[in-house]
Amino acid sequence: MTGFECRESFLSWLILEKRASPLTVEAYGTDLASFLGFLTQHHGAEPDQASLARVTQADVRAWLASLANDGLVNASRARHLSSVRSFFRYLARHHRMENPAVKLVSTPKTRRPLPRALAPAAARGVTEDIGDMSGQAAIQARDTALFTLLYGCGLRIAEALSLNVRDAPKPGDDGPLRVVGKGSKERIVPVLPVVRQAIAAWLRLHPAARNEAPLFLGARGKRLDAAVAQRTLRLYRRQNGLPEHATPHALRHSFATHLLAGGADLRSIQDLLGHASLSTTQRYTNVDEARLLEVWRKAHPRA
C-alpha cells in the first residue's frame, strides 16, 4: 500500500471501529496528510508501507521543525505528533509494520493554559439574566435551567446536555445528581436549591417531559445542541460586556475557582469535577495565586 492508502485505511478504522467523531477524523486526516506530504518532498518519492517502516527519528524531527517554520506552536506540533504516533500504532497492530522511531521522538513541551473563571457576580449574573435573551417563556426557562446547572454543579456542557428527564433533580428531593462524565465514569454532584428551582420551572414548560426524553430540548424537539448553548452565551456576553472567555466551560471553571476561594479542599473539588488526576485540579490553585497577585499589584502602594 502507498502511504496515503495506509492513511485512508487508518481513517476508515477510526470511523468504523473507534466511532470517532467527524471532527476527530478530519484532524487526524489533516495531520497525516502533512506528515506524508513532507516525507514525499523529503525523500523525493511518495512513501509506501515499506518506506514508512524505515522512517527515522531524524525524519520525524525534520518534519516537526518544518511545522515550526510554518508558524505552528508547540501545542499544535504536539497534536500532529500524537496523530502520527496513533497512525504508526495502527500500522503495527493491523498491518504488522513495526517502527519504534516515532515513539522515541520527544513531544514538544506545552504549557496548559490556566482555567479562566468569571468573577462571582458575573457568573451569578449569567444564571439570573440569560433567560432574558429570548422572548419565549419555554426557551427562557430552559436557558436559565441549563446555565444555572452548569455553574451550580460544575458540569461540562456535554454532561448537562446528555441528561434525560429521569436524571433531573426532583423538587423536594435532597438527593444528588448522578453525572456520567469522560470515560463513562459516573460521579455524584450535590444540587443547590436554586438549581432545583430552575430545573423545576423548566420542566413545567418542557414539551415532552417523559422520563426517556432529553432534559434540554432544542427548537425542533431534539436534544439541544451544544453550539446553540454556546451561541446563546456568546450573544449574552457581548450584550453585557463580559470577556470573550465567558463560555459554558468558563462556568465550570468558575464553579471550581469560587469553591477553592471559599475554602473547599482540592480533593473534594476533584471529585465534584470528575477529574481523574489531582494534578488537573491543582491548576485552580495557580488561578487563585494569579488572582491574589493581581489584587496585590492593584492595591499595594509600592507595587
pLDDT tens by residue, 162-176: 999 999 987 777 888
User: Letter for the amino acid at 285?
Assistant: T
Which is catalytic among the residues 94, 166, 182, 204?
Answer: 182
pLDDT band of residue 287 (cuts 50, 70, 90) is low
Query: Which pLDDT score is estimated for 292?
Result: 62
pLDDT in tens, 222-235: 999 999 999 999 99
- On whether both 30 and 144 belong to a single domain, the answer is no
Which is catalytic among the residues 77, 252, 253, 258?
Answer: 252
pLDDT band of residue 295 (cuts 50, 70, 90) is low
Query: Which pLDDT score is estimated for 155?
Result: 95
- On whether both 211 and 98 belong to a single domain, the answer is no
Sign (positive/negative) of CA torsion 115, 121, 124, 125?
A: negative
Query: Which pLDDT score is estimated for 82?
Result: 95
Domain assignment of residue 114, yes or no: no
Task: Check: CB of residue 252 under 8 Å from CB of residue 258.
Answer: no
Among 69, 104, 139, where does a domain finish? 104
Query: Which pLDDT score is estimated for 296?
Result: 66
Of 73-82, 106-115, 285-294, the range with the lowest mean pLDDT is: 285-294
- On whether both 254 and 125 belong to a single domain, the answer is yes
pLDDT in tens, 103-137: 999 988 876 777 788 999 999 999 999 987 767 89
- On whether both 183 and 286 belong to a single domain, the answer is yes
- On whether both 80 and 224 belong to a single domain, the answer is no
Domain assignment of residue 109, yes or no: no
User: What CATH code is carried by the domain that includes residue 255?
Assistant: 1.10.443.10
212: containing domain:
120-298
pLDDT band of residue 300 (cuts 50, 70, 90) is low
Domain assignment of residue 73, yes or no: yes
- On whether both 143 and 167 belong to a single domain, the answer is yes
Among 73, 104, 135, where does a domain finish? 104
Percentage of the chain surpassing pLDDT 70?
95
pLDDT in tens, 85-111: 999 999 999 999 999 999 999 988 876
- Is 275 known to be catalytic? yes
pLDDT band of residue 303 (cuts 50, 70, 90) is low
- Is 258 known to be catalytic? no
Query: Which pLDDT score is estimated for 198?
Result: 95
Average pLDDT over residues 1-30: 93
- On whether both 275 and 183 belong to a single domain, the answer is yes
- Is 252 known to be catalytic? yes
Angle between helices 193-203 and 137-153 (to 10 degrees): 150
- On whether both 46 and 139 belong to a single domain, the answer is no
Whole-number CA gyration radius for the chain: 24
Domain assignment of residue 111, yes or no: no
Higher pLDDT, 28 or 219: 28
Domain assignment of residue 258, yes or no: yes
- On whether both 151 and 280 belong to a single domain, the answer is yes
- On whether both 139 and 217 belong to a single domain, the answer is yes
Counted domains in the chain: 2
- Is 61 known to be catalytic? no
- Measured in whole angstroms, the distance separating CA 19 from the mean position of its chain's CA atoms is 18
Which is catalytic among the residues 142, 249, 253, 258?
Answer: 249
Average pLDDT over residues 274-286: 80
Domain assignment of residue 112, yes or no: no
Query: Which pLDDT score is estimated for 129?
Result: 92
Asked if the model's pLDDT at residue 22 lies above 60, the reply is yes
Among 104, 135, 165, where does a domain finish? 104
- On whether both 143 and 91 belong to a single domain, the answer is no
Query: Which pLDDT score is estimated for 290?
Result: 66
User: What CATH code is carried by the domain that includes residue 21?
Assistant: 1.10.150.130
- Is 249 known to be catalytic? yes
- On whether both 234 and 161 belong to a single domain, the answer is yes
Domain assignment of residue 240, yes or no: yes
Global confidence as pTM? 0.63
Asked if the model's pLDDT at residue 297 lies above 80, the reply is no
Which is catalytic among the residues 77, 80, 142, 156?
Answer: 156
Percentage of the chain surpassing pLDDT 90?
66
Domain assignment of residue 244, yes or no: yes
CA distance linking residue 83 with residue 30, whole number of Å: 9
